[in-house]
Structure 1
Amino acid sequence: MDRRDAANPPYRLPPPLFDARCKACWFTAGIAALVVASFVSLDLQWAQFFSAEALRSMGRFLGEFFPPDTQPEFLRKVAWAAWETLAMSALGTLLAAIAGLVLALPASRTHAGARALWRTPTRLLLNALRSVPELVWAALLLISAGLGPMAGTLALAVHTAGVLGRLFAEAIENAPSGPADALRAQGVGPLRVMAYATLPQVLPQLLSYTLYRWENNIRAAAVLGVVGAGGLGQLLAFHMGLFHMGKTATILGGMLVLVAIVDAASYGARRLLAR
């Protein structure tokens, strides 16, 4: 081995786990410290949770769920509530995708020279929409829309519009600027540039975001019924309140089947979009 080979070995030692000049290392250390502080500050009764008495109580409670109620009349009621939950989530997600795209346009800076006067106020609006949970939106909208799926659908649409609007704005801002710059150089207006250059590039990503949020809204729609917003959640809250545990088990099974079907359909659709 000559001097050059000795000075430049064919292998490299792995980097140290922590480097004082590494910003990511300090960030990771800060997150770890917050996690440790969370465990220390919370009064977590682990010994009581895993005690023999607690395990026996949990076993007795779970035993009350069996056998599930499989009467045809009740199964038809669960199937209708599942369809109502599915419709709430689909319509709420569709409305949210339309509103999110409308809000994403002023919330994004499409090119370096854009003034984007409405970017900051629109992003503040999107932050406000998604900061309020769906359950709170449903409780507020029940006052005007009344009990039933209308309030749940609107609650999903309002909250999800804030989420999708922010994701859509980020996708639009990160889109490759070459095709749009070429159209601007030809004097094409901003709306046509967005329609013919930017949107075709980010459309698969926008659809993927929308499908993923639809999966989440299925679960959220099932929970919104607890406050009277219709669907499986309302049926669940009613029978759990009356301690009809067999019926409750059937409703929970319907939720699991519905979520599994939607997850599989959404996953397949995202795979097709990624091709």
Structure 2
Amino acid sequence: MTPSSGADTTRARRDMLGQRLLMLAVALGLLGAVAASFATLGIDFGALLGAEALRSMAGFVAEFFPPDLRPGFLRKLGEAALQTLAVSAAGSLLAVAGGALLALPAAGRFGLGARLAARLALNLLRSVPELVWAALMVLAAGLGPFAGALALALHTSGVLGRLFAEALENSPATPERALVEAGAGRVVAFAWGRLPLVAAQCLAYSLYRWEMNIRMAAVLGFVGAGGLGQLLYFHLSLFHQRQAASVLLAMFVLVLAVDAASQRLRRGLAPAWG
């Protein structure tokens, strides 16, 4: 072994030891933060897990069974589920369009000024939670599913715009540049040289956000945006636990159905886009 190789080995061991010490320090810091969080919250685990508390929780859960499966109520559930699905689909489609429009300047395709402005707009849209957007849209557009669709569209546009922009920035520019050098216009070069490289990834992002918006559309009903959430809020406020259990079951079935449909769609389109 030469002196240089021995020095390299010693340096590598020193670097590895430094990395391990750093990881240990980070882990200890996280554990300390968790312990400090529990100490700050002052949670009384004795009262939470006591016999009386467990009996109360068991009694509360028992009130949700059996769910209300009467035909009339199931018909009402179906109408609310379709409304929730429509709100999520409309909000997601508007978000895909808005996110795509903002993603192009955010990816730097129209200069630095447009990039900074688009990034600022995307940060603003996604920094406001859906429930806050819903409260604002209810004030602007009134109670109902339209306010929920607008709230989902605004927040999801910020999320999808950021994801679309990063996908464009991380995709190879060689095919688009080759088309431009061959005489193709910038729009044609983008459509045939860059867009096919990110289409499958952007579709996956869009479908995943639609799945998330299904759940969020149900929650938005608590602020008057219609659908299953509004039905759940109504029955919980009146202590109709069996009806609330049926609404929760309908939410679960709806999310499962959309998840299965999006997976099938992704598998079907993946071969076409490579």
Opposite residue 172 of structure 2, the aligned amino acid is P
**1:20 aligned onto 2:18:** yes
Q: Deviations over 1:79-135 (max 9, x none)?
A: 10001001111111011001100000000035xxx7433111211110110111111
User: Take 1:47 and 1:190, find their aligned partners in 2: how far apart are those partners?
Assistant: 67
Which residue in 1 is equivalent to 2:227? 231
Distance 1:101 1:53, change over 3 A: same
Which of 126, 129, 145 is the equivalent residue of 1:130? 126
Opposite residue 140 of structure 2, the aligned amino acid is S
Give the total of aligned pairs: 262
Task: Answer whether contact 1:208 1:273 (CA < 8 A) is retained.
Answer: no
Task: Answer whether contact 1:108 1:116 (CA < 8 A) is retained.
Answer: no
**1:59 aligned onto 2:55:** no
Could you tell me the percent identity over the aligned residues?
54
Q: After TM superposition, which residue ranges in structure 1, 4 or more long, deviate above 4 angstroms? A: 15-18, 21-24, 30-33
Q: Which moved more, 1:166-175 or 1:114-123?
A: 114-123
User: Take 1:245 and 1:162, find their aligned partners in 2: how far apart are those partners?
Assistant: 37
CA RMSD of aligned residues (A): 2.6
Which residue in 2 is equivalent to 1:267? 263
Which residue in 1 is equivalent to 2:217? 221
Distance 1:16 1:146, change over 3 A: farther
**1:196 aligned onto 2:192:** yes
User: Take 2:94 and 2:26, find their aligned partners in 1: how far apart are those partners?
Assistant: 38
User: Take 1:168 and 1:19, find their aligned partners in 2: how far apart are those partners?
Assistant: 39
Instruction: Report deviation, 1:263.
Output: 1.4
Distance 1:145 1:53, change over 3 A: same
User: Take 2:205 and 2:96, find their aligned partners in 1: how far apart are those partners?
Assistant: 9
User: Take 2:99 and 2:198, find their aligned partners in 1: how far apart are those partners?
Assistant: 14
**1:77 aligned onto 2:76:** yes
Task: Answer whether contact 2:126 2:158 (CA < 8 A) is retained.
Answer: yes
Q: Deviations over 1:24-67 (max 9, x none)?
A: 73794455554444334332332222111111111110111122
> Which structure 2 residue ranges, 5 or more long, are not aligned?
6-12
Which residue in 1 is equivalent to 2:37? 38
Which of 251, 259, 264 is the equivalent residue of 1:255? 251
Matches within 5 A, 1:94-173: 94-109=93-108, 115-173=111-169
Instruction: Report deviation, 1:255.
Output: 0.8
Opposite residue 93 of structure 2, the aligned amino acid is L
Distance 1:124 1:31, change over 3 A: farther
2:105 is paired with a residue of what secondary structure? coil
Task: Answer whether contact 1:85 1:218 (CA < 8 A) is retained.
Answer: yes
Task: Answer whether contact 2:105 2:111 (CA < 8 A) is retained.
Answer: no
Q: TM-score, normalised by structure 2?
A: 0.87
Task: Answer whether contact 2:222 2:233 (CA < 8 A) is retained.
Answer: yes
Task: Answer whether contact 1:19 1:25 (CA < 8 A) is retained.
Answer: no
Instruction: Report deviation, 1:191.
Output: 2.6
Which residue in 1 is equivalent to 2:9? none
Q: Deviations over 1:185-215 (max 9, x none)?
A: 2354433322221111100000000000011
Q: TM-score, normalised by structure 1?
A: 0.86
Instruction: Report deviation, 1:21.
Output: 4.8
User: Take 1:195 and 1:73, find their aligned partners in 2: how far apart are those partners?
Assistant: 51
User: Take 1:180 and 1:25, find their aligned partners in 2: how far apart are those partners?
Assistant: 42
Which residue in 1 is equivalent to 2:90? 91
**1:209 aligned onto 2:208:** no
Distance 1:60 1:123, change over 3 A: same
Structure with greater proportional helix content: 2
